[in-house]
Amino acid sequence: MRRRTFVRAAVAACSLSLLAAFAPAASASAEAGGQHSPSYKRVGYFTQWGVYGRDFQVKDMDTSGQAAKLTHINYAFGNVSSDGKCFTGNVPGEADAWADYARPLDAENSVDGVADTAEQPLAGNFNQLHELKAKHPGLKVLISLGGWSWSTHFSDAARTPASRKALVASCIDLYIKGNLPLDGARGGAGAAAGLFDGVDLDWEWPGSAGDTDTVFRPEDKQNFTALVREFRTQLDAYGRSLGKRKHYDLTAFVPTAPEKIDAGFEVRKIMRDLDFVNLQGYDFHVSGEKTTAQQSALYARGDFSVDQTVRDWLRRGAPARKLVMGMPFYGQGWTGVTGGGDGLNQPATAPAPATWAAGYEDYKALKKLADSGTYTVHRDRRGGHAWLFDGTTLWTYDDPQVLRTKTSYIRERGLGGAMFWSLDGDTADGELMTAVDRGLSRSY
């Protein structure tokens, strides 16, 4: 999963060197015609930093219609310190308590239409997520720990029984119990209590290379299993202590590359404790490579694909109902493409210019390119992917037609649902979210 650099180097490195019946959980999804019947999981990542330059606020998940169609929001990300604890604060590049719970929102940007006051202990994204849950009963919010840039200290924190207990206890205290550090009038004991409904583990990657400063060891594989067990144990114990036997969800983001799966995951064991896993369904190829390629194909002979990822996890013992397919709400792009034809699998000189980071562009911007008439939309209907090409620049991405094919695959194979990175890439009216929701609801 990404942070501000928008670089999936783990898979770039991997790319370059890289039915049990499902009784789905109830959905919080609702359309104009009424409440959906029990349906598949729809998991969307909300990025902490997106409230700044992108100006994607929690309220936008409501006004776009996304919140009504989601079952889970994963808040990206929480960090783990060098001493192996979950923490927050205002530390550039490491934590942003201002965005999380200190930043006041005015009435216009608040879900409930009421401006934050100077005295309230919870503001920022956390308070807005509270308001969003109140408006959409049944919607769950999970704290997602790690991501590409913040998996640095997972290996150290998971090394011993004592360190695992300390890590998990700190995460539960901070996020589940909601005991936030004081930041002026904000925070304090229980300030965020009741906000988070579970934990999503985004350790990238146990047992194999991730970001340049991320530690990894061979024993991470067994230690990840033990860490998952420790989270399950402590979450269950805290749920029982509330007297209502509340169940806290425990999920993980997991890779596509077989060597990364085998290096870091005891699949059968972790699946006993995880409610589901979010499969990496994108960044199979990235714009840092020298040749254009698909980044999220459903099928691809002799290459990474969604189908290959699903089959690899099934073969290693994962139940189909616990596999949630990752889908990109963005594209990977190259420029300086030569070789003619439709541009795919051709040499390129550099990542394509883009709004936020070269080689990475939101779907909403790519939709405008597709509608501009300067790009041609190409499709591999058998492979289940699409790309744009103007003779020089190529973008590979998922549009509603691709997502319709992918949702059919989810239904046919009894998978657990769909996950999206990230919600801020969608259009203002939630075009991609709607396409997935309708596809999973058999509304097409």
- Best CA proximity match to 263, nearest among 296, 231, 292, 223: 223
Distance CA 3, CA 397 (A): 19
Strand partners, 335: 350
* DSSP code, position 7: -
| Angle between the N-to-C axes of helices 431-440 and 400-412, in degrees from 0 to 180, rounded to the nearest 10 | 30
Yes or no: say if 189 and 122 are a contact pair by the CB < 8 Å rule. Answer: no
Tokens of 178: 């909601």
The gap from C-alpha 108 to its chain's centroid, in whole angstroms, comes to 27
Distance CA 385, CA 157 (A): 39
* DSSP code, position 101: I
The label of the residue with tokens 């996020």 reads 175
**3-state secondary structure (DSSP) of residue 278:** strand
Tokens of 162: 């004592």
Told to judge if 266 belongs to the known catalytic residues of this protein, a careful annotator would answer no
Amino acid at site 342: D
Strand partners, 324: 278, 417
Active-site hit among 131, 204, 361, 431: 204
Distance CA 102, CA 126 (A): 9
Q: Return the C-alpha torsion angle 402, 406, 409, 415, nearest 10.
A: 180
Distance CA 290, CA 272 (A): 41
Distance CA 160, CA 140 (A): 31
Distance CA 224, CA 158 (A): 7
User: Residues for the chain: how many in total?
Assistant: 444
Distance CA 171, CA 250 (A): 13
Distance CA 74, CA 199 (A): 8
Q: Which helix (H) or strand (E) holds 370?
A: helix 363-372
* DSSP code, position 233: H
Residues marked active site are found at 204
